[in-house]
Amino acid sequence: MELRIRNLSKTYANGVVALDNVTLNIPTGMFGLLGPNGAGKSTLMRILATLQECDSGSVFLDEIDVLDEQDEVRRMLGYLPQDFGVYPKVTAYELLDHFAVLKGLSSRARRREVVDGLLQQTNLFEVRHQRLGGFSGGMRQRFGIAQALLGDPQLIIVDEPTAGLDPQERVRFHNLLSDIGEDKTVLLSTHIVSDVADLCSNMAIINKGHVLLCGEPQKLIDAIDGKIWERFVTKAEVAAFQTRHAVISTRLLTGRTLIRVYDERDPGDGFDPAIGDLEDVYFATIAGRSFAASNC
Ligand SMILES: Nc1ncnc2c1ncn2[C@@H]1O[C@H](COP(=O)(O)OP(=O)(O)OP(=O)(O)O)[C@@H](O)[C@H]1O
**Residue environment code for 148-186, b if the CB has 16+ CB neighbours within 10 A, otherwise e:** bbbbebbbbbbbbbbeebeeebbebbbebbbebbeebbb
Residue nearest atom 29 of ligand 1, based on CA coordinates: 38
The total number of residues shown for the chain amounts to 296
Residue nearest atom 8 of ligand 1, based on CA coordinates: 43
DSSP state of 14: T
Question: What is the pLDDT at residue 290?
Answer: 66
Residues 6+ apart with CB under 8 A from 243: none
Q: How far is residue 135 from each of residues 14, 124, 188, 280, measured CA to CA in Å?
A: 37, 10, 23, 35
Whether ligand 1 lies within 6 angstroms of the CB of 42 is answered as yes
Q: Mind listing the pLDDT tens digit of every residue in the chain (296 residues)?
A: 999 999 999 999 999 999 999 999 999 999 999 999 999 999 999 999 999 999 999 999 999 999 999 999 999 999 999 888 888 999 999 999 999 999 989 999 999 999 999 999 999 999 999 999 999 989 999 999 999 999 999 999 999 998 888 888 889 889 989 889 888 999 999 999 999 999 999 999 999 999 999 999 999 999 999 999 999 999 999 999 999 999 999 999 888 999 999 999 999 999 999 999 999 999 999 988 766 545 56
Whether ligand 1 lies within 6 angstroms of the CB of 35 is answered as yes
pTM of the model: 0.91
Contact 22, 209 (CB under 8 A): yes
Residue nearest atom 14 of ligand 1, based on CA coordinates: 40
Tell me the CATH number for domain 3-215. 3.40.50.300
**To test ligand 1's pocket by mutation, which of 37, 157, 208 has the most ligand atoms within 8 angstroms of CB?**
37
Ligand 1 atom with the shortest distance to the CA of 19: 14
User: What residue ranges in 72-184 does DSSP mark as E strands?
Assistant: 77-80, 155-159
Q: How far is residue 255 from each of residues 66, 230, 232, 251, measured CA to CA in Å?
A: 50, 16, 11, 9
Residue 248: name the closest of 217, 222, 285, 212 by CA: 285
Name the phi and psi angles at 172, rounded to 5. -60, -45
Q: List the domain boundaries for the chain.
A: 3-215, 221-286
pLDDT tens digits, residue range 24-35?
999 999 999 999
Distance 43 CA to ligand 1 centre (A): 6
Whether ligand 1 lies within 6 angstroms of the CB of 12 is answered as yes
Ligand 1 atom with the shortest distance to the CA of 209: 14
Question: Assign residue 214 a region: left if phi > 0, alpha if psi is -120 to 50, beta otherwise?
Answer: beta
**185 three-class SS:** strand
pLDDT tens digits, residue range 138-197?
999 999 999 999 999 999 999 999 888 888 888 988 998 988 988 899 999 999 999 999
On whether ipTM exceeds 0.90, the answer is: yes
Residues 6+ apart with CB under 8 A from 106: none
- Residue 148 has, within 13 A of its CA and on its CB side, a CA count of 30
